[in-house]
Homo-oligomer: A and B are copies of this chain.
Amino acid sequence: MELLVSLSRDDVASTGSEAGPAAVRGTDAEAPKGHPLTAVVATGAAGPVASYDVLSPECPSRTVLRHVVDRWTPLIVAVLAQGPRRFGELRQAVGGVTPKVLAQTLRSMERDGLVLRDQTPGVPPRVDYTLTPLGASLAEPIAALRAWAEGNAEQVLAHREAYDRAHSRSEE
Contacts and interface: CB of A to CB of B under 8 A. Distances in A.
A94 interface: yes
A104 B86 CA distance: 40
Contacts of A42: none
Contact of A54 (B32, B68, B150, B163): B150
Interface in A94-115: 94-96, 110-113
A69 interface: yes
Nearest to A94: B55
Contact of A148 (B22, B141, B152): B141
A16 to B, nearest CB: 3
Contacts of A21: 164, 167-168, 171
Interface in A11-63: 15-17, 20-22, 31-32, 35, 50-62
Contact of A111 (B61, B138, B152, B159): B159
Interface of A: 15-17, 20-22, 31-32, 35, 50-62, 64-69, 71, 74-75, 78-79, 93-96, 110-113, 134, 137-138, 140-142, 144-161, 163-164, 167-168, 171
20 contacts: A16-B156, A16-B161, A17-B160, A53-B150, A54-B78, A55-B78, A57-B95, A58-B95, A61-B153, A64-B156, A65-B145, A110-B163, A111-B163, A112-B156, A112-B159, A112-B160, A113-B156, A134-B156, A134-B159, A137-B152
